[in-house]
A and B are shown apart, each in its own frame.
Chain A
Amino acid sequence: MRPARPDGNTVDWFFEGLVAAVLEELDSPAGAAYDRTLYAIGMEYGAVDARRALDYAVGPRHGATPTDKVLASLGQTPYPRLARRRLPGQGIRGTAAILHFFDASYPLHTEPAERALVELGFELPSPLQYVDYVHAIDRLKERCPASAVPESNWFLSRILQVGLEAWSRRQARREANPGRRVAGAAPAQSTVARNPF
């Protein structure tokens, strides 16, 4: 059993569980589906690649795929400026998917990852703007110790997104079973740091 940390820093707990969470996802069907998408996306990013990204992240009922002209314009903007842009016909999830598979520094957006960021103490606006989500993950990237980064050919944005989702799932399990310890979840008595940075 892990020792309780009454004043434990929730972000440190998050990083402690990151390697295990990512390695589990790497070997899972979900990890394989991500890898297949990543593998299929071309170097000259075009509409077919954006469609693959949307199929993976949003599903077959995604909005209209941006035109080649819009996609070509992405290549002229250094990270993270595109995070302020909403691609035509897409919400945050679709925009994030197109940007992520175009430049993996941009994280995929999922609700569990967003929820975990809030649980870790990030104050995200409602309704969420993708740029705030990106900035929060960038701050996690800076804070992340090297020992928490598993050896994988995933980018750090993907590693953190997967870790956030796993954190969110564990917290949900803990809340559903308040009397039981859940491996990798913050201890029940831990104080969530409102300003972890």
Chain B
Amino acid sequence: MAAPTPQDFAGWQGLLDAWIDDIGYPRNLLGDFRLEPKYEEPPNPLVEFGAFKGAPKWRRPGQAPTQAGRDALLTLTAVQGDTGFASVEQQRHLVATAPTAYDLKSLVRVNAEEMRHGLQMAHILMTHFGRTGAIEAQKLLERRATRGERLLKAFNDPVRHWLDFFCYTAFMDRDGKYQLTMLQRSGFHPLAASMGPMLKEEAFHLGTGFTGVKRIVQAGLVPIPVLQTYVNWWVTAAYDCFGTDSSTSAQWAYEWGLKGRFDEATNPQPAPRERLNEYNRSLYAAEVADLLCKINQARAPGQPALRAPSTRFHRRVGPDAGQPYSTTGARLSDTSYADHLRETLPTGEDEGLLAECFKEAWIAPRAA
């Protein structure tokens, strides 16, 4: 029987406890981590862009000027919360196979903070959006990544092993950084005020991913072309998380002052309102390319370099979804595209090879 909709945040926390047990997260590993909401003043007290620029940020959804804007806020908050719980469901099984105690501690911290990020969004839903918000907060704990029910496709993909985890935290969590940064400029004060603490925590997740991928390259056991297929998978999954091209939802969210560009604070140019998702994705792609350059410095001489795939490759969202583009963005015939996918995305053979690698020193110690 479905649990009744929580009446208040304490009631929702009871559902969170049940969720932790249901997904089987070992409570002893969470230690004294405090699952609690954290707010801090956003960088700007005023609406920073869009039609209401210069007005005080809205403290309650009712202050937002349009009902459509309030509905968009509810959706933005729910989607953000969904990703936090989804990622824990994706990664939870890795506690049993950590390569080192240090990595286990890192995983647990990442998972605990992602739970807190989901909780933060639930706190906003429960506090500001009435019964509708309570239902959405409840749904955050009812959907399951393991059943393919999470709102964004990539958050239903299996995180098969620790190599996936490091790619996930390096590339998917980097999309998370972009989303949080864009929401930090939101005209809705509770959302903007949530993002500072979340971004500080996210920095550790990104550092864990970057260091992890670099340690894999340093160890030199996993062939770079195989590692490249996993980079291709997770980077393109993150591309999808920016949403569809020419998104009217993104345009309206900008117009209503709810979600800005990634570089909103520093970019004096007018926003490309009809291409917001593409614009933010292009910044992300450039950052990933830069990150891979840093990782490539850890290669042994003669090894190939890791490269960021084209934003048109292996897309599952938007106008390029299913289109036959190569990792460099060239259009291929359907036949050669099928071959190209086998070469550039993880295969069963790659998984078999990794399983053998995992029996050996596949990842270098930190600061080796």
Q: Are B102 and A32 in contact (CB under 8 A)?
A: no
Query: Which residue of chain A is the closest to B195 with respect to CB atoms?
Result: A146
Task: Flag whether B101 is at the interface (Cβ < 8 A).
Answer: yes
A38: contacting residue among B32, B102, B184, B200, CB under 8 A: B102
Could you tell me which B residues sit within 8 Å of A by CB distance?
Answer: 31-32, 34, 40, 43, 100-102, 104-106, 184, 195-197, 199-200, 203-204, 206-208, 210-211, 365-367
- Report B185 CB to chain A, min CB distance, Å: 12
For A151, list chain B residues within 8 Å (CB). Answer: 203, 206-207, 210
Q: What chain B residues lie within 8 Å of A42 (beta carbons)?
A: 101
> A156 an interface residue at 8 Å Cβ cutoff?
yes
Q: For residue B40, which residues in chain A have a CB less than 8 angstroms away from its CB?
A: 142
Residue A91 interfacial (CB < 8 Å):
no
B108, closest chain A residue (CB)? A43
In the complex, what residues of B have CB within 8 A of residue A154's CB? Answer: 204, 207
**From A33, A43, A149, A156, contact of B104 by CB (8 A):** A43
Is the CB–CB distance between B367 and A35 below 8 Å?
yes
B102 pairs with A36, CB closer than 8 A: no
Do B367 and A36 touch (CB < 8 A)?
Answer: yes
Chain B residues, CB < 8 A from A124: none
Contacts of B101 in A (CB 8 A): 41-43
Contacts of A75 in B (CB 8 A): 31
8 Å CB interface, A143-174 against B: 144-146, 149-156
Whether the Cβ atoms of A152 and B102 lie closer than 8 Å is no
Q: Which residue of A lies closest to B197 (CB)?
A: A146
A115 shortest CB reach to chain B, Å: 25
CA distance A71 to B14 in the complex (A): 32
Roughly how many angstroms separate A41 CA and B196 CA in the complex, as a whole number? 30
Query: How far, in angstroms, from A31 to B207 measured CA to CA in the complex?
Result: 14
Contact present for A146 and B200 (CB under 8 Å): yes
Asked whether A146 and B196 contact (CB < 8 A) given A151-B206, A153-B211, the answer is yes
List CB contacts (< 8 Å) of A113-163 with chain B: 142, 144-146, 149-156
B238 to chain A, nearest CB (A): 15
Instruction: Check A155/B204 contact, CB under 8 A, given A38-B102, A146-B199.
Output: yes
Please name all residues of chain A whose beta carbon is closer than 8 Å to the beta carbon of B199 when the two chains form the complex. 146, 149
Shortest Cβ distance from residue A93 to the other chain B in the assembled complex, whole angstroms: 22
Shortest CB distance A155–B (Å): 7
- A79 CB, nearest partner CB in chain B, Å: 6
Selected contact of B204 from candidates A36, A39, A103, A152, CB within 8 Å: A152
Contacts of B204 in A (CB 8 A): 152-155
A78 is an interface residue with CB less than 8 A from chain B: yes
Contact B43 A149 (CB under 8 A): no
Q: A77-B32, A145-B43 are in contact. List 6 more A-B contacts (CB 8 A).
A: A36-B366, A38-B102, A39-B367, A78-B34, A146-B184, A156-B200
Residue of B nearest to A151 (CB): B206
